[in-house]
Chain A
């Protein structure tokens, strides 16, 4: 506890806390769409796919954010292209693309002389190195992404639920898919330089699954996921300061703990709950 209070006196730690909380809330909301479309694997793949872009950006000396976004865009195109051959299903084509992307990143890193071969920053991030600029970028990107998700809410939900009927209705479901992929990719890339891959993936997938344990209703899902994401960031960073483990890993483990609590909590509640009569099933 002492370590946490000491840490709070440091402006570095306070900035880290703010950035992690912002990313947590943003990723929690985006994660609801990821979970709804069962796109977790795609997010994991994207996190690997951005790797060559981040490496290339650091070699050339341009912004890691730009490099990550470019690589993610390439990856989305590659997955759509390989998927269109119809020879492979979606998961297989994602697997082929992600394995290639990551290998290319490792290759580039190994071939660059004098470059630090340190990948741990990519994995766990450098949350204490967050600058005010990073925080501003997160806020701007976050507002833009939440705006897109709010404006297209009903279309995104409908296309996720029944893509075939939705395309008969006249929507381009591929375009709506790409919107969600792009939103997830931008959220991921925003998060990675500061908080690392593991944490970015964790925040984009786990809080929404945890929230799903608490409610069946779509309107409640988003605020609960945002709350779990933000709270995990705060608790995880505190744990990181208290126990001296990597910040990204600590926050990721906190989201998992939140999931475990919701998962087990629901089981306990349903076990003791009085069976309700008059549900849909009992009318059959």
Chain B
């Protein structure tokens, strides 16, 4: 039986492979309710694979993942996945409100149409990301930052207990970055846990308590200040990591 006291996410030696290639090797750690972890690592380090494994879309070859006290597949519906806005079809004929409404679909159920209460919830979610006045605008006609906020609104409307965000700050404006950081803090205060992959170490420090440093295998995991040390970043990124004199670290995404 799942209870709200079980951790949001438990990883135990989680490993995944595509064909004969290992994509993720022995990742271990846990995220409490209301907790947050940043997945840091170079491209191809397995961040996206890990997120996909948490939603049960990638089978594990070894180890175990427990989501909200149960298996990834059974936890579906209580988990929200927020993709990069750029990865979606910009020509798709759909408006912002309809995207936010998708978060309610499981509550609405098969066959039935969205009711007044669902519409209110979707409007509220859009208002929380500052976009209610653009509810009828086509998703593809919005800016990158606005699209990212619409996708976050969908997760809010879903009332998800665990949010998985894939590079939410990639190529968005600073207004969006500030807003997303605020909204994530509010959601966490309400008990939702957050897992996000990012290259932006500054925002990772603002948003997350913990960090998990990946390079196919797990380089380090723990409180973000102790985990993202210049030495470890260099280990994960190779020579792509540039350490500045004052201890701040820039990481090139290449």
Q: Do chains A and B touch in the complex (CB under 8 A)?
A: yes
State whether the Cβ of B187 lies closer than 8 Å to any Cβ in chain A.
Answer: no
State whether the Cβ of A2 lies closer than 8 Å to any Cβ in chain B.
Answer: no
Instruction: Tell me the chain A residues, 155-192 only, with Cβ under 8 Å from chain B.
Output: 155, 157-158, 160-162, 164-171
State whether the Cβ of A212 lies closer than 8 Å to any Cβ in chain B.
Answer: yes
Select from chain A the residue with minimum beta-carbon distance to B102.
A158
Chain A residues closer than 8 Å to B105, beta-carbon distance: 154-155, 158, 169, 171
Bits for A140-157, please: 1 = Cβ < 8 Å to B, else 0: 000000000001101101
* Docked-complex contact A151 and B111, CB < 8 angstroms: yes
Q: Can you list 12 pairs linking A and B with CB atoms under 8 Å apart? A: A38-B89, A154-B113, A161-B92, A161-B99, A162-B88, A165-B80, A166-B102, A167-B76, A168-B55, A168-B79, A169-B76, A281-B142
Q: Specify which of A86, A152, A166, A217 is in contact with B93 (CB 8 Å cutoff).
A: A217
* Docked-complex contact A86 and B19, CB < 8 angstroms: yes
Chain B residues closer than 8 Å to A109, beta-carbon distance: none
Select from chain B the residue with minimum beta-carbon distance to A221.
B93
Query: A130 to B79, alpha carbons, bound, how many Å?
Result: 52
Chain A residues closer than 8 Å to B158, beta-carbon distance: 169
* Docked-complex contact B106 and A168, CB < 8 angstroms: no
Q: Specify which of A162, A169, A217, A281 is in contact with B106 (CB 8 Å cutoff).
A: A169
Chain B residues within 8 Å of chain A by Cβ, number: 43
A272 to chain B, nearest CB (A): 20
What is the predominant secondary structure among interface residues of chain A facing chain B? helix
Query: A197 to B56, alpha carbons, bound, how many Å?
Result: 39
State whether the Cβ of A1 lies closer than 8 Å to any Cβ in chain B.
Answer: no
B21 to chain A, nearest CB (A): 10
B115 to chain A, nearest CB (A): 12
Chain A residues closer than 8 Å to B137, beta-carbon distance: 279-280
Instruction: Tell me the chain A residues, 95-123 only, with Cβ under 8 Å from chain B.
Output: none
Select from chain B the residue with minimum beta-carbon distance to A168.
B81
State whether the Cβ of A215 lies closer than 8 Å to any Cβ in chain B.
Answer: yes
B195 to chain A, nearest CB (A): 12
Known contacts A36-B92, A164-B83; decide if A86 and B138 are in contact (CB<8 Å): no
Q: Specify which of B81, B89, B94, B108 is in contact with A164 (CB 8 Å cutoff).
A: B81
State whether the Cβ of A87 lies closer than 8 Å to any Cβ in chain B.
Answer: yes
- In the complex, given contacts A86-B18, A218-B93, what are 13 additional A-B residue pairs having Cβ atoms less than 8 angstroms apart? A151-B110, A154-B102, A154-B105, A157-B94, A161-B92, A162-B102, A164-B55, A165-B151, A167-B55, A169-B80, A169-B81, A279-B141, A280-B134
* Docked-complex contact B102 and A169, CB < 8 angstroms: yes
Instruction: Tell me the chain B residues, 227-242 only, with Cβ under 8 Å from chain A.
Output: none
Q: Specify which of B56, B111, B141 is in contact with A280 (CB 8 Å cutoff).
A: B141
Chain B residues closer than 8 Å to A169, beta-carbon distance: 76-77, 80-81, 102-103, 105-106, 158
Chain B residues closer than 8 Å to A283, beta-carbon distance: 143
